[in-house]
Amino acid sequence: MAANATHRFLKKISYKTLNPAFSSPHLTKIGKIPISQNPRNYTSINVTSGGRSGALSSPPPPPVNEISERIDINPPKGTRDFPPEEMRLRNWLFQNFREVSRLFGFEEIDFPVLESEALFIRKAGEEIRDQLYSFEDRGGRRVALRPELTPSLARLVIQKGKSSPLPFKWFAIGQCWRYERMTRGRRREHYQWNMDIIGAPGVAAEAELISSMVTFFKRLGITSVDVGFKVSSRKVLQEVLQSYSIPENLFGKVCITIDKLEKIPIDEIKRDLKLVGMTEEAIEELLQVLSVKSLSKLEEILGSSGDAIAELKQLFSLADKFGYSDWIQFDASVIRGLAYYTGIVFEGFDRKGKLRAICGGGRYDRLMSTYGGDDVPACGFGFGDAVIMELLKEKGLVPELSPTVENIVCALDQELQGAASLVATKLREKGQSVDLVLENKPMKWVFKRAEKINAGRLILIGKNEWEKGLVRVKNLANFEQSDVELDKLE
């Protein structure tokens, strides 16, 4: 009875009466009847046999044309898509990162892209909060997309504890997120190659890290004429500050200010240093020291008794042995803004001065205790993907990477599609790449497709050949062709 009553009720309802926008008679097949005059905010009566008769459902999505008007098809500002041609370049770059790391005996690691927000604030201070992509998850925890990899590395080292013998020689290639002003080579999302040595206190570790980056540049065709490394030590700054009795707890703030030397006017640098608590005399001497570009000149100012001079001399001696002396130069102004560096620091730069720092790193022996672990000697570097690609474009060194497929397999008749699938499967089982033509296409189209994907062979499945257990193989390099037995197809 109830079903018949519902049927009689529906026959009396006109779609045009309820909503002119839903006047098509085909809508009776959809199973929902709008009962509001507002197409953006209506409920409906569900009359399908699969659901409860008369149940209310949630509003359907707005029409497709409304959705397309509201959605921006570009990626979020500061991020990138990687269509095939860009993905080929990214894979090529990452393969070079990995190959250099392998050559130097490093093992690959990775971490979550999402970490505890406190992990980054603990290292960099509250000021980084404005640069984080952070939020509260459904469990009430404050989390953030990682802006860099080193804090995650420190967490993992502490987690491993003493279960593995030192040193660790680890590398990672990870996606990082930082909300900041964008410039050439700086995006809000980028990938970063990190190499770190944990548990080696000597300068030889820094020397090897710089050697690995030089090796990478050489692989890509970049020379010491194009790129150099500025080298200094945080201990230089420490010695100057100690001579003026500047409290150690202000060291990090001074470093952040000094790191802006080439970015803001010198008067602003002096003003910020005064706000930190430095006297005018201390500021002038500090700026004088930071202008030094010669290790011998620095030794005249600081003397030779401190660790800074001894370690820098050793680094330059090792650079000569590694064979990259022409790549490095002393520059006392290189401080690196991150507060956790404790010794030698270095920065890769474009000698023409058109780009921001290409890479950078140094020693951070006291980072682990920041997170409650035992301090371990450590040093490493970070190398972003965006700036190096800008440099490669500048030098005309970006390779042309076309797609390559070993075979393209095509059935000459639709009824032979199954046979073509069998051939493709056999070749794939032998480790060969195959692009299988999935539709009945003319040969002109097939040849164009083969050219586009740089296929090495075209394998045709024809009725007469297939009945004899054969396939026709065309070598697309020299256009020689032959009929080959299926079992002998290699």
List, as residue ranges, the binding site for L-histidine: 148-150, 178, 192, 196, 336, 340-341
Give strand pairing partners of 233: 344
DSSP letter (8 states) at residue 56? B
Q: Quick one: which of 330, 240, 319 has its CA closest to 278?
A: 240
Please state whether 403 falls in left (phi above 0), alpha (psi between -120 and 50) or beta: beta
Structure tokens at 132: 């984080």
Backbone angles phi, psi at 17, to 5 degrees: -65, -45
Give strand pairing partners of 474: 458, 481
Question: How remote is the C-alpha of 425 from its chain's centroid?
Answer: 34
- Which positions make up the binding site? 148-150, 178, 192, 196, 336, 340-341
What stretches of 160-199 adopt beta strand conformation (E)?
168-177, 189-198
CB neighbour burial string for 21-39, b if at least 16 within 10 angstroms, e if fewer: ebeeeeeeeeebbbeeeeb
Please check whether residue 346 is in contact with residue 210, taking contact to mean a CB–CB distance below 8 angstroms.
yes
- Number of helices and strands in the chain (H, E): 17, 18
Q: Quick one: which of 91, 84, 430 has its CA closest to 457?
A: 430
Quote the CA–CA distance of 430 and 409 in Å, as a whole number.
15
**Element housing 435 (H / E):** strand 434-436
